[in-house]
Structure 1
C-alpha cells in the first residue's frame, strides 16, 4: 500500500465518503477512551499534532487540544489571526511549512470550501477536518452520533429533526451523511431563506419536527440579520426557536441537542439549555473521547 493511500485512510476530511463500519469503529474506540480511568494515556507520546485554525474557534480547538494532550502528543497551536497568513502567506504555504517542520498530523479549520480537499492531495501527513466552510464538520457529527447512541442504544430507526439554518450549516450536512448510513430518518425544518435545495431531505413544520427522538437546534448566525436572510432574532425565535412552550410538547424520551455556541433565547430558550432532556453539555464532553479516537486513528 502506498504512503499516499495510508495517509488518505488515516485522514478525516468528511463523513460523506466514510463507511458505516469505519464510523462505527471510531464510535467504539471513543467508548473505550471515555471508559478509561486515566486522565492521560501517553500512547502517542513523541508525536506532534498541529492545530491550524484559519477560522475562529474556541470549543472545537480546546476539545482537540484536550484530546491530544490526553493521548500524550506534543501540541502546536496555530492561529491565523497572529500568523503570516495575515501578511499574505497562503494556507497551503503555512500547512506545508508545518509539515516540513515534522508534524505527524494536522487539525484544520478554514472557511473556503474545497481548499482542504486540495491540501490533502499535496500534504503527506494525515489531516483532520475541524470544519470547512459550510461543507462538513465530521468530528461534531461523530460526537452527535455518539451522544445519540449512548442515549438510545442504537441509531437505526431513530427520527432526528435538524432545525435552523441548514443552508449554511456544515453540522447539518455531516450529520445527514452519517445518520443516513445507519438507517436514521432525518428531517429538516428551516425558514425558506435557510433551506438547502441540493440536499435530498424532507422539510417538515416546526410542530412535526418536535415529534422526533432527537431535536437538534442549529446555531443562528445573527450577522445574517444584517444581510436580510434573517428578519430578526425575535421573529426567528417566535417561528423556529425551541421555546419553553414548544419543549413542553416533546415526548418524555426526546432529547434536545445543539452543536454550540448557543444563542440563548434565540434558537433555544435559556431555561432549556440545561433542561433534563437536554444533552448539550454532554455533547461537548463526548467531543473529547471522539477526538481522541480520531487523532489516534490519524497517528496509527
Structure 2
C-alpha cells in the first residue's frame, strides 16, 4: 500500500475531510445498520489493533464489536497494563505492533499532535479514537448520523454544544463536520471552559436550549480538584440540562450526549432516556459508523 493510499484510508480527523467523503462514510454505515446479518467475513484474515493509551471502555468496546462483526482478528492493547507505563514511547509501541503484522490500528492517546507525527511514519492505516483535546472523528460521525437519521438532513439545523468546550475533542470534531453540512453551531460554556481559537458564537443557556439539537458534554469531575469546577451542584444549576430547562426546549428538538453521562450533573437522570433523548441510539449508531470506518481503512 502506498503512503498516499494509507493516508486516504486513515481517519485522523474531520477538519480536513470533504463533505462528500464524510457522507460516503455515513451512507456505508446505513448499509451496515440495515444489513440483516450480524457478522460478516469481509475482513477475514485482517488484524486490527485497538491501542488505547488513554482509558475508554465504551469507545474501545464499540470498535471491537464493529471489527468482530466484519470478521477481523482483534488485538486489544491497553497502556495501563503495558510497557508504556515503564517508559516505552507511544511511537515505539505502535511500531512494535506494526512490525508484528497488524493491518490497521485504532488509537487513542492524550498528547495533542502526536497522532499526525506517528501516522507519517507508520505503514498501516490509523483511526483516531480520540487524541487529547484535538479531535474525536468517529464520535462526530455517529452524532451526524444520528441527526441525519432523525431529521432527514442536517442542513439548516441549529446545534448547541454545551459544557467544557476548552477540553472537548467532541466539540471540535462536531464543529468541523456540522459546518460542512450547512448546520449552524453555537457553544455555551462557563468563561473558564471556552476555547478562544474555535470560531463559533457563545450563547446563554436560555438561548442554547432553543436549538434543534441540544448536545451536552460530559463534565470531567476531576477538574473540581483544580478549581476549574466549583462543584457539581453549581455546574448543574448554571449549565446542566435540568427537567425545568428541558421543558423550555422546542417540541421537535432532541437531546444528545457523547456519554458516559454524569447523571444529575450535566443532565438530569430522568432526561437520559426521555422520548426526545438520543443518547442510547447514539451509542447503537457508533457500531455501524465504526464498521464503515474500519472497512474503509482495510478494503
In which range does the TM-score fall when normalised by the shorter chain? over 0.9
**Residues 144-188 of structure 1, C-alpha deviations (whole Å, 9 max, x = no match):** 000000000011000000000000000000000000001101000
Aligned to 1:207: 206
* TM-score, normalised via structure 1 length: 0.99
TM-score under structure 2 length normalisation? 0.99
RMSD of the alignment, in Å?
Answer: 0.6
1:58 and 1:103 map into 2 onto residues whose CA distance is: 21
Where does residue 80 of structure 1 map in the other structure? 79
Aligned 1:1-300 pairs, distance under 5 A: 3-300=2-299
State the alpha-carbon separation in 1 of the partners of residues 80 and 204 from structure 2. Answer: 41
Taking the aligned partners of 1:230 and 1:87, their CA distance within structure 2 comes to 32
The offset of 1:88, in angstroms, is 1.0
Q: Equivalent residue of 1:227, what SS?
A: coil
| Alpha-carbon distance between aligned partners in 1 of 2:40 and 2:153, rounded to the nearest angstrom | 28
CA distance in 2, matches of 1:23, 1:4: 21
Query: How many residues of Structure 1 are paired with residues of Structure 2 in the alignment?
Result: 299
Task: Give the gaps of 5 or more residues in structure 1.
Answer: none
Deviations 1:120-149 (A, max 9, x none): 000000000000000000000000000000
Q: Secondary structure at the match of 2:128?
A: strand
Cα drift, residue 60 of structure 1? 0.1
2:48 & 2:6 partners in 1: Cα distance?
14
Give 1:3 shift.
0.3
Separation in structure 2 between the aligned mates of residue 262 and residue 18 of structure 1, nearest angstrom: 29
Structure 2 unpaired stretches of 5+: none
Q: Distance in 1 between matches of 2:252 and 2:229?
A: 32
Deviation at 1:98, TM superposition (A): 0.5
- Partners of 1:225 and 1:53 lie apart in 2 by 25
